[in-house]
Structure 1
């Protein structure tokens, strides 16, 4: 193969590499002048091609390439200035400011001045090392690193780009090794393309994907628990993604454990701690009822369910101490009597009866709280004979969006076909979500819900890998589909036992303990917390 043809083919493959980089880059960091960028790529390619054919004139080519970079920067990033020293000074100042901001904030969303500079420099560098120096592994490593970063930080599905990168890498290797042997070059190229197409076909195999996902979940979860993903996520977004969130309107995608302590609980036994409930399912997530009530002072600093016809257990003490003060108040289940705290629960606590959320007056932060807890005592008979009358319950707890696919309702009826009582129907749905082999519990492998798709429908039928938000939302929606009132609660699970005995057992609740679960309504029992929809 003649040298000029080898270099020309190398340029074409390098353009492919650049396209793999630029496509996801431009989605995150829009390119305002794509035509100017394309022209710059052609010019640098021509310079690299000539430099490869006549390497002794490298000072001329290097100088020409540098000047082309400066002019290319101005064409792509004019900053409302004519080309000259004034533009260059403005560019340097803007670049320095953008760089400092990016280093402070992090992420893959890069300021325009910095992103365009990176593109201009990358084009020149990749063409230089592949066409002139023939160091294609370095170019491949750069593109691979960026694609991995976008996949991890931005949650983008880049499967196609990774397969294309494998093809480009193989073709560059064959071209480098067999450029003097036409037959070997053709056989090698066709083999690489065929092998990659075969792997792409295998990647669409559901059994293979499920097998790979299932066998690798324990390893990924161990990395998650040790904070590996949280470190990546903290750089990408400026903060970890686990922890109680105020806004649950758009759910989906992976979450990464943040081990930061939120509060310490001292009590005789472990509790789930609810912050609030949401009743309106939107198809993408949850929001409070449209008929929201205003927060009002607590009556005698007691929270109770006066209409619940159940017995309450013996009062036990729970003490909560919050790290740094919180705007939300996680509370255990049961009849609660507030005996002390900061701010003062007898004067400063406000209760929103629709969300069951307590706030403090005058925007105070919660620092500590002493509670006497009496938990509801349910008997098996009460649960098994509980009715499902909806006459006294708000329609908010039965409402589903009109866009919910019919197959969700059909599935709910199929799951509960053999159940006679409301309680048996709840257990049937719970058992299905816990035990069906299709479902996999994983925080790190959950997928983003595609646009114009229902969150629960996508989880149940297309991507059955998820965590508490997926399972709890699915249970609420399935219950509502068969006329069982239910709502969605969020707060924290029991946390980690740290020591102590008797009434002084101490539990640390961290951001990684943020949790969600369904509450199912039975008229005589009121809402019953159901925390068993997610897998261990």
Structure 2
């Protein structure tokens, strides 16, 4: 029993640490308050597998502990026995049927707990009894990574612990297989490294490791999102992520999203544009609401015209007819910017219109198809005209400068720093826009976005903590930053332009899906109304001032906007980002320089601090590695020889012989035995293994005998003796110099 514990104990301890790390996260996700019992059961399972000598004893103990664990959490009003087992089965049978019909996302806690405990028991058997580490630890890491993506957890410490335990177990197994000595030293060093890694994971900021790793893997994770991996995982019920799409509730923004490619509507048109649905004006610190409710006007008519509000100076140089066909029975009507006359074709009885935020809803009727047409006059937001507009508040009761009283002051400080060198209203707006869309410190990602904590402001967390997000983060940040400067702005939402079906026709059919749901800021310019801007990286709004699509013609319009789809569309984010450079020079040049200056001063301290820590840590690690290799160079060289040489024994022995000759010169006439005798006389306590190796080497060289089975171990021990002789010689030389 003691021998088995010595052999299996280290594996059992590593398995217990790794399994506990995973179990704690599971219990957190399912809101189990009692976590200690499950940990104790896991520890008892690992101890039983490491301690009990007989297989049937180990199997019996594991089954009893598994049943005890389930009973402790789900007694079902029964005492331990057959009645409880029957009650458990009666509970589990309908739950299994529920999961089969609705997916694992509907897994109730009883079934989930039973499954996770069974999985942990099986993994402990694999790791301790059969010493299969690769599959077991990769499975645990995969589960933790799924929790990262789909449950908004950040188990950095747990991932470190599982990875460290896996490496420790594998290394110890290889150490024993090669018959290497000093197992206790290996275990001690491994335990110290384990505590070091745990301390690093516990006390370093999450962003220190998370952000660089996320940046390096964003292409891979976006690819998985594109091909539908996250969508598939969520479709079978793993996780609770938000899915892309238009939502009426924006009070709590944030958190990761996965793409939903459900087709909402198609638009047959000449030129693409954003599809505006709604806007909101009240920022709560967590999301957006409306400051005041407005009753919509009901119009039971077939035609209705929506005019651009408060825009007497706006010009409309182009117009087009757009035919919309809806694939889902949503009531909201997405509209382009400008003056639009809406005509009902089929599937609708009339309109509901909210003038304050210019939202149009359709009144549905039962019909096979839902179709409308739009006769749109497209606006021209001339940059030259907007440059001369002075700051004015819109003539409305809504407060478009509203901000929460507890809004962190550093948001306003950042906005002032970004716009410090700008004078006009338009220059200030574009400076904030470009700072968000081009700064290297911000990164677009749906799968990496993090929801704010209860005590965090949504915009503040994005600007200064995570700096990772999608359109809601960037658009909200721009609106809030502008409001701190006294510039009226509001939060608009709808859809980006969608993706055009391949066609040689002048009019193309665009498909707009849930994954095209989008948000952006609108800024009030007196005489021109509410003007759209686009701070989200890799997106181009065709209606944004300075895009000049109307002047460039239909072909240029098509090329520019088709390549500016969201990074989850058919084109990659890299393509979209490079295409974003096609915006006009007047848009980018002035604001980019400002954004870079503000970024360098606002964020240089924190980013340089991380770089400094990283450089110092890397330098110390390099020095420590060099010292360790030099201090143990004999064993290191022998290890390399054993892996790379075709004759490791002969090469290793000759290497040790040359090192001995540096301590005691060998005469040209001396053979190996004579030289060995002189070595023994000079270093009687440090040559035992080398002399044995010499005899083995001569037998191998002259009599063609195979080296001893433990020759590898003898080489390592002889290297240790040589190291002791080198130390003794060095001390003797130092003593002689000191006496002189």
Same fold (TM over 0.5): yes
2:247 corresponds to 1:245? yes
The partner residue of 1:274 within 276, 279, 282 is: 276
- Greater CA deviation, 87-96 or 276-285? 87-96
CA distance in 2, matches of 1:15, 1:198: 17
What SS does structure 2 have at the residue aligned with 1:102?
A: helix
In the alignment, what sits opposite 2:258? 256
Task: Give 1:189 deviation, angstroms.
Answer: 4.8
Q: CA deviation at 1:517?
A: 0.6
Aligned 8 A contact 2:141 2:163 in 1? no
Distance 1:85 1:219, change over 3 A: closer
The Cα offsets for residues 439-490 of structure 1, whole Å up to 9 and x where unpaired, read as: 2223333233233111111111222222211111111111111111111111
Question: Over alpha carbons, which structure has the higher Rg?
Answer: 2
1:190 Cα deviation after fit: 1.4
Q: Is the contact made by 2:78 and 2:84 (CA closer than 8 Å) also made in structure 1? A: yes
Distance 1:8 1:194 in 2: 18
Alpha-carbon contact 1:338-1:369 (below 8 Å) kept: yes
**Aligned partners of 1:444, 1:48: CA distance in 2, in Å?**
40
Say whether residues 1:418 and 2:424 are aligned partners.
no
Partner of 1:48: 49
Q: 1:174 & 1:219 partners in 2: Cα distance?
A: 30
CA-CA distance at 1:424 after TM superposition: 1.4
Q: Give the Cα separation in 2 of the matches to 1:331 and 1:281.
A: 24
Shift of 1:219: 3.8
Equivalent residue number for residue 342 of structure 1: 346
Of residues 124, 127, 142 in structure 2, which corresponds to 1:127? 124
Report the Cα distance in structure 2 between the residues aligned to 1:340 and 1:407, rounded to whole angstroms: 49
In the TM superposition, what is the alpha-carbon distance from 1:370 to its structure 2 partner?
0.8
Mapped to 2, the partners of 1:134 and 1:124 lie a distance apart of 14
Whole-Å separation in 1 of the counterparts to 2:122 and 2:524: 64
Aligned to 1:470: 473
- What residue in structure 1 maps to residue 630 of structure 2? none
Q: Which residue of 1 aligns with 2:218?
A: 217
Q: Which consecutive residues of structure 1, in runs of 5 or more, have no partner in the other structure? A: none
Matches within 5 A, 1:352-371: 352-361=354-363, 367-371=370-374
Residue in structure 2 matching 1:534, options 530, 533, 537: 537
- SS of residue paired to 1:229: helix
1:99 Cα deviation from its structure 2 partner: 2.3
Instruction: Select between 118-127 and 469-478 the one with higher mean Cα deviation.
Output: 118-127
Q: Give deviations 1:198-224, integer Å, cap 9, x for gaps.
A: 798598697876555444433433333
Unpaired segments ≥5 residues, structure 2: 539-576, 578-740
Tell me the residue number matched to 1:312: 316
Q: Are the equivalent residues in 2 in contact too, given 1:107–1:153 (CA < 8 A)?
A: no
Q: Matched residue of 2:371: which SS? A: strand
Written as runs of structure 1 = structure 2, the 5 A alignment for 1:370-519 is 370-390=373-393, 392-500=395-503, 504-519=507-522
The verdict on how the C-alpha distance between 1:421 and 1:378 changes in structure 2, with shifts beyond 3 A counting, is same
RMSD (Å), alpha carbons: 3.1
Mapped to 2, the partners of 1:115 and 1:295 lie a distance apart of 47
For 1:396, what is the secondary structure of its paired residue?
A: coil
Deviations 1:264-311 (A, max 9, x none): 101111021011111111112222x13110111259611113532123
Separation in 2 of the partners of 1:43 and 1:212?
36
Higher mean alpha-carbon deviation, 19-28 vs 41-50, is at 41-50
Change (3 A) 1:46 1:4: closer
Cα distance in 1 for partners of 2:191, 2:13 equals: 17
The answer for the alignment partner of 2:285 in structure 1 is: 283
Which structure's residues are more often helix, by fraction?
2
Mapped partners of 1:220, 1:129: distance in 2: 30
Q: How far, CA to CA, are the matches of 1:195 and 1:244 in structure 2?
A: 46
Contact kept? 2:416, 2:485, Cα under 8 Å: yes
* Cα distance in 2 for residues equivalent to 1:66 and 1:199: 32
d(CA) in 2 for partners of 1:22 and 1:417?
Answer: 52
Moved more, 179-188 or 329-338: 179-188
**Corresponding residue of 2:155:** 158
- Does residue 322 (structure 1) correspond to residue 326 (structure 2)? The answer is yes
Whether 1:301 aligns to 2:300 is no
TM-score (norm 1): 0.88
Give the Cα separation in 2 of the matches to 1:33 and 1:195.
Answer: 26
1:148 maps to which of 145, 149, 154: 145
How many residue pairs align between the two structures?
529
Q: Which residue of 1 aligns with 2:110?
A: 113
Matched ranges for 1:62-73 at <5 A? 62-73=59-70
1:26 corresponds to: 27
Q: Is the 2:4–2:50 Cα contact (8 Å) retained in structure 1?
A: no
Question: Residue 74 of structure 1: which of 61, 66, 71 is its match?
Answer: 71
Taking a change above 3 Å as real, the CA distance of residues 263 and 135 of structure 1, as seen in their structure-2 partners, is same
